[in-house]
Copies of this chain bind each other. A is one copy, B any other.
Amino acid sequence: MADSVVNWDGKWTTDWEGALAKRTERMTSSIIRETLKLMSTPGLISLGGGMPAPELFPIREFQEACRYILEHEGPQALQYSVTEGYPPLKQYLVAKMQKYGVPAEEENILIVNGSQQALDLIGKVFLNPGDTVLTDRPTYLGAIQAWSSYEARFVTVPLDDDGTRVDLMEDILKRERVKFIYSLPNFHNPAGVTLSLERRHKLVELAARYGVFIVEDDPYGELRFEGEDITPIIVLHKENTIYLSTFSKTLAPGIRLGWIVAPARVLGRLVQAKQAADLHTSIFVQMIANDICQRGFLRQHVKNIRNMYRERCAVMLSAMEKYFPPGVRWTRPQGGLFLWVILPEGTDSMELLKAALEEKVAFVPGSAFYPDGVSGKNTLRLTFSTATPEMIEEGIKRLGKAIERQLAQCKKVQ
Binding site for B on A (CB under 8 A): 1-5, 7-8, 10-16, 19-24, 27-30, 33, 36-37, 49, 51-52, 54-55, 57, 59, 62-63, 66-67, 70-71, 74-83, 103, 105, 107-108, 112-114, 116-117, 120, 124-128, 131, 142, 145-146, 148-150, 179-180, 207-209, 211-213, 237-240, 248, 252-256, 263-266, 268-269, 271-273, 275-285
Contact = CB atoms under 8 A, between A and B. Distances in A.
A54 B75 CA distance: 6
A150 B2 CA distance: 26
7 closest residue pairs by CB, A with B: A78-B252, A66-B66, A59-B74, A54-B75, A13-B208, A78-B254, A117-B278
Nearest to A10: B239
Contact of A285 (B10, B29, B146, B285): B285
Nearest to A49: B80
A5 B103 CA distance: 10
A269 to B, nearest CB: 6
A13 B208 CA distance: 5
B78 A253 contact: yes
Given A24-B269, A103-B7, A256 B281 contact: yes
Given A19-B213, A116-B278, A265 B78 contact: no
A13 B239 contact: yes
A404 B32 CA distance: 62
A239 B114 contact: no
B21 A279 contact: no
B252 A79 contact: yes
A248 B282 CA distance: 11
A7 B104 CA distance: 9
Contact of A282 (B52, B57, B108, B113): B113
A100 B278 CA distance: 26
Given A8-B239, A13-B239, A126-B20, A280 B256 contact: yes
A213 B255 contact: no
A145 B276 contact: yes
A11 B241 CA distance: 12
A7 B253 contact: no
Nearest to A127: B21
Given A79-B57, A81-B254, A116-B278, A103 B264 contact: no
Contacts of A79: 51-52, 54, 57, 252-254
A390 to B, nearest CB: 18
Nearest to A55: B75
Given A1-B268, A265-B4, A62 B80 contact: no
Contact of A27 (B21, B269, B281): B269
A276 B148 contact: yes
A33 B273 CA distance: 13
Nearest to A54: B75
Contacts of A254: 76-81, 282-284
A276 B13 contact: no
Contacts of A285: 255, 282, 284-285
Interface centre among A28, A76, A263 (most CB of B within 10 A): A263
A322 B99 CA distance: 59
A14 B80 contact: no
9 contacts: A8-B238, A16-B265, A19-B126, A19-B179, A54-B79, A66-B70, A116-B277, A146-B276, A254-B284
Contact of A63 (B71, B81, B142, B145): B71
A257 to B, nearest CB: 8
A225 to B, nearest CB: 21
Contact of A107 (B5, B22, B52, B248): B5
